[in-house]
Amino acid sequence: MKLTLEALEVLDAIDKKGSFAGAANALFRVPSTVTYMVQKLEDDLGFAIFRREGRRSLLTPAGLVLLEQGRELLLSAQRIIESAHQVNSGWESTLNIAIDTLWDLKVFYPLLIEFHQLNTGVQINLTEEVMGGSLEAIVEKRADIVIGGPLPVANIQGVKFEKILSTTWQFVVAKNHPLIKHKLLLEEEDIRPFPTITIKDSSKNSPILSHRVFDNQTTVRVATMEQKIMAVIEGVGVGFLPYHKIKQYLASGELVSLAINKSAPATSQYCSWHINNKGKAMKWFVDKILTTAQTCP
């Protein structure tokens, strides 16, 4: 075949690293080998895959199509290998776990330590997602398990959802914020002059979701819940935060909860996983997460 998995891995590395030299370093190859492979592939296929722009190597339109669909082949090949590993030992070679930014990593890390003590050899890959990105990760199979994500509007075939957390939200400000001296209950017009801190939805291909933002209010977008908490503590802006993530800051006085005329309803978070995955690591983590969730405050 003119197109091989090895060639696709090279194209993928060049695109991610932005240069032939960067790809060669990532793949532990000499740059001349990478250059030769690309040139040969371009000769075999009859069109240019990359174009130079300064020091960066950028995909041509044809190259972009080739790589986008080629990545699907790489994923399919990985799934074939994964299936063979499961048949042979029952343990997956890798397990991809996406953790929604609402979930507390301090709850998850003890499980990870306990799992590694089993010496299974399973590689655990962790990612952090926000709102719609958590659903997208499970739907697009970027994640085998999602911890703390929302419930989808419609059923997702082959995926099971179990509730693991009910989140209450409080409107909070930094300890020296001007709103502390304002008469309560706060109205929207009292809050609107101050920037609100929001977390950017991590969806790549789905509609971007946004919650608990007042109309016509300046926003500062951050990537994670931890970044949002610190931004509010430092006085960059104000916002709604989940009680279970900030109770220590409320107790210390670094954050102050203020009553407003527009409450934020409690939300439910779920553990979701692909039910057709019968691997031992999947079952171990799902069982542990569901059991741990029952003891979480």
Q: What is the CATH number of the domain that holds 150?
A: 3.40.190
**What percent of the chain shows pLDDT beyond 70?**
94
Decide if 151 is inside a domain.
yes
Strand partners, 147: 99, 271
Position 62 scores a pLDDT of 93
**Range 183-201 average pLDDT:** 89
Q: Report the candidate in 237, 247, 255, 282 with the shortest Cα–Cα distance to residue 90.
A: 282
Based on the fold, state whether residues 127 and 154 are members of the same structural domain. yes
Decide if 200 is inside a domain.
yes
Decide if 196 is inside a domain.
yes
**Strands (E) located in the chain:** 50-53, 56-59, 94-100, 123-129, 145-149, 159-167, 169-174, 196-199, 219-222, 239-242, 255-257, 267-274
Domain boundaries, position 123: 95-159+272-295
The pLDDT-based confidence of 264 (bands split at 50, 70, 90) is confident
One DSSP character per residue, 184-195 reads: SSBPHHHHTTS-
In 243-262, which positions are buried (b, 16+ CB within 10 angstroms) versus exposed (e)? ebbbeebeeeebbbebebee
Overall domain count for the chain:
3
Position 74 scores a pLDDT of 92
pLDDT at 199 over 70: yes
Dihedral sign, Cα of residue 243, residue 246, residue 248, residue 253:
negative
Cα-Cα end-to-end distance for the chain:
57
Residue 41 · residue 7 · CB < 8 Å:
yes
Based on the fold, state whether residues 76 and 107 are members of the same structural domain. no
**pLDDT tens, position by position, 210-225:** 555 666 678 899 989 9
Based on the fold, state whether residues 16 and 78 are members of the same structural domain. yes
Position 276 scores a pLDDT of 87
Alpha-carbon separation of residue 133 from 83, 113, 244 (angstroms): 26, 26, 21
Position 205 scores a pLDDT of 64
Position 200 scores a pLDDT of 87
Q: Are strands 267-274 and 169-174 parallel, antiparallel or unpaired?
A: unpaired
**Range 96-124 average pLDDT:** 91
Q: Which of 10-19, 168-177, 225-234, 280-289 has the lowest mean pLDDT?
A: 10-19
Q: Report the candidate in 247, 197, 257 with the shortest Cα–Cα distance to residue 224.
A: 197
**Range 219-232 average pLDDT:** 93
The pLDDT-based confidence of 1 (bands split at 50, 70, 90) is low
**pLDDT tens, position by position, 37-52:** 999 999 999 999 988 8
Position 10 scores a pLDDT of 93
Q: Which of 13-17, 192-196, 262-266 has the lowest mean pLDDT?
A: 262-266
pLDDT at 60 over 90: yes
Question: 51, 85, 119: which is the final residue of a domain?
Answer: 85
Based on the fold, state whether residues 173 and 245 are members of the same structural domain. yes
Tokens linked to 69: 């669909």
Decide if 164 is inside a domain.
no
The pLDDT-based confidence of 297 (bands split at 50, 70, 90) is low
Position 97 scores a pLDDT of 96
- d(CA 218, CA 214) in angstroms, rounded, equals 9
Based on the fold, state whether residues 149 and 276 are members of the same structural domain. yes
Q: Report the candidate in 123, 217, 237, 102 with the shortest Cα–Cα distance to residue 166.
A: 102
pLDDT at 253 over 70: yes
Decide if 90 is inside a domain.
no
